[in-house]
A and B are shown apart, each in its own frame.
Chain A
Amino acid sequence: MTTTEIDNNTGLVTQEYKINMGPQHPAAHGVLRLVLTLNGEIIEKVEPDLGYIHRGIEKMTERDTYKQIVHLTDRLDYLSSHINNEAVCLAVENALEIEVSDRVKVIRTIIGELTRLASHQLWWGVMGMDIGALTTFMYAFRDRELINDIMEETCGTRLTMNYNKPGGLMFDIHPNFQKRVKEFIKQFKVSLPEYNTLLSGNVIFKKRLQGIGYMSKEDAIAYGVSGPSARGSNISCDVRKIHPYSAYDKVDFKEILIEGGDSYDRYMVRMFEMEESMKIIEQLIDNIPEGDFETKTSAILKLPKGEYYQKVESARGEFGVFIVSDGKKSPYRMKFRSPGFANLSILDKISRGHKIADLVAIMSSLDFVIPDIDR
């Protein structure tokens, strides 16, 4: 449809209906602005307009030391902050060939999985809210609170943990850590089936998601979609399996792959992934090896000249850190490959022809965190 059409017989004017979704919109989960071109309720085009929370983190890294940069990455995808920290630490450790003890690896893995669980819980609650089931939010926050308490006790913070540093961890785990994690796992094994009863099996919920936002395997790869969103289209892309880091090569877990490619499949991938995360934690929690929680490093790290890339699996997909070093204390150029940015690029393609309500569902099923997109 062109911008304006005038009917020759009646003289009635038909105009494109453009609405702004965001930057302040309940379904945008932050400050994402989408310019929608509508035909009635049917979406003809989605144009993302980014930058409402752009802080220039990549530019900031160019003046900071590597140890300082770790703390900036919390503010990218704040729901998988630990995993982001880990990516930078791993990149620096690999570049400098710093050996970290097994204890560090295992603790990093456990906390990474707890972060993933917390992130998926929040996503689940918000997904329900977006579809209109308000109670899910409270269910999710009830359980997420337990994880946050564990984090608070061990890491000192609830959301942006800053528990990692190049060479190990900030400090050792709290004596209660294992006990409380086990308590949480026990509790969450009861709650997760509740989640499924409340939402996953609901007829309305299924009708709202099935067949909506179909993403073919080829498209998903071409647009660089990763993480649970891509695994809903049957793409094996779990970095934990393909390029294992920390202790993921020691644990036994399944990579969830579902063939459908619609929003409901992406939803189910995350639901199953929570079970897998619990499995990983259960395997490791009783077997935390003894050892140092850190390898002593000098205050200012200087990476040898060269390029380094480290990818990890964050809760949203593949998070990558690309460092170009010129041998100084700060990186010459640092790029964060954020999963949300790539996942956003396919939004226009998969939501065309659907309705506004579907767009909300699709956005939820792709699980955006806006600071992660804007950086």
Chain B
Amino acid sequence: MYDFSKITGAIHNWLSSIMPDLGVIITEWVLIGVVFLAFFALLGLILVYAERRIAGFFQFRLGPNRVGPFGMFQTVADTVKLLLKELVGTKEADSFLYNLAPYFLIIAALMSMAVIPYGFNLVAYDVNIGLFFMMAVSSIGVIGILLAGWSSNNKYSMIGAIRSSAIIISYELSLGLSSVLAMVLLAGTLNMNEIVMSQQAGWWLFRGHIPAIIAFIVFIITGTAETNRVPFDLTEAESELGAGFHAEYSGIKFAFFFLAEFVNMFIISAIAVTVFLGGWLPIHIPFWDGFNGIMDYIPGPIWFMIKTSIVIFILMWFRWTFPRLRIDQVLTLEWKYLLPISLVNLILMAFVVMMGWVF
């Protein structure tokens, strides 16, 4: 595996040689910011395109196919349209909070992306509580949704926002407390990079016995709920609330919500990949040394993206298959089923780890 700290280290050394320390830090911040913003925007474009093509696939139609080869520039065209659109707002809205809300979501999404390891040592912010940081930061997003719903001064938005906060606050428990924590027990660290490294002998999903599989299933369900996607898209609930919390937003502000939704989906998939599916590690099949050797030649970031895409595909599959749950059913599912299951699962996992029953 290639150590990406060689590249980043080289850049750091070169910068240090031409400017003072403060300048180096600021330049690096700007560089990382630019790289991540570009990645963020690109990710949004690709995911929206992918969603539309996959939706087309599930509904026997083609999806976008006119702009550019296979319609690849459709989302670019859409972005340009969204950028050029007039910003229509309501007069009665609380304009400060109304304008602030989209940034909460975008910033929460961006910050969570900082701790994801895309390759060996390829991580923007390598912190020893990486997973915890990510859980904490991604919860900020709900404030954005709540603000958007409240400040729009629209009754439908309000209902959407309240639904959203109810869902996210309850599902945060299963997601963070139980399913991810169970895996942290197994890995013995909160550092994202180390979690990946600890899976060199095999993915935690397979090595963690039944508790790991239960944790994975719970994680996928709660992750879907966290990103407000079908079957948990009650915040937007097209057929009930129109567009829910972002009903009053237009143009680029709407695009922010839209983008954040897709990037959040990427983040949830990235956590799933990092924690359960071996992150950027290549696929290794025991005793197939030749195969494993070939797999090692494929760089880590590509493995990471392949695995993430598969999880994203599953989430999109949900969206185009399932009907939407009702708010009380969503909360019942969490408080009566998922949370008890994952708490018991946590104890089970602790037992497994204590007895040393890990492969």
Contacts and interface: CB of A to CB of B under 8 A. Distances in A.
Contact of A19 (B156, B230, B321, B327): B156
A200 to B, nearest CB: 11
B240 interface: yes
Contact residues on A (Cβ < 8 Å of other chain), bracket: 20 to 34
Interface stretch (B58-66, B196-204, B265-273, B337-345): B58-66
A56 interface: no
Interface of B: 55, 58-61, 155-156, 159, 163, 230-231, 233-234, 237-242, 319-329
Contact of B326 (A26, A130, A138, A357): A357
A210 to B, nearest CB: 12
6 contacts: A19-B159, A129-B238, A132-B237, A132-B322, A134-B319, A137-B59
A355 B162 CA distance: 14
A138 B60 contact: yes
- State the main secondary structure of chain A at its contact with B: helix
Contacts of B327: 41, 355, 357
Given A25-B242, A356-B159, A202 B324 contact: no
Given A128-B323, A135-B320, A26 B155 contact: no
A189 interface: no
A224 B292 CA distance: 72
A135 B233 CA distance: 15
Contact of A138 (B61, B239, B241, B322): B61
Interface in A3-55: 17, 19, 25-27, 41
B321 A135 contact: yes
B231 A132 contact: yes
B64 to A, nearest CB: 15
Contacts of B58: 135
Task: Across the A-B interface, give the 5 residue pairs with the lowest CB-CB distance, nearest first.
Answer: A132-B324, A138-B59, A133-B323, A131-B323, A27-B239
Given A25-B242, A138-B61, 18 more contacts: A19-B156, A41-B159, A41-B163, A130-B239, A132-B322, A134-B55, A134-B320, A135-B58, A135-B59, A138-B60, A198-B321, A202-B322, A204-B325, A205-B323, A208-B325, A357-B234, A357-B327, A360-B240
Contacts of B242: 25-26
Contacts of B326: 207-208, 355, 357-358
A139 B60 CA distance: 8
Interface string A64-92: 00000000000000000000000000000
Interface string A342-359: 000000000000011110
Contacts of B61: 138
Contact of B323 (A137, A138, A142, A204): A204
A357 B323 CA distance: 12
A134 B329 CA distance: 20
A199 interface: yes
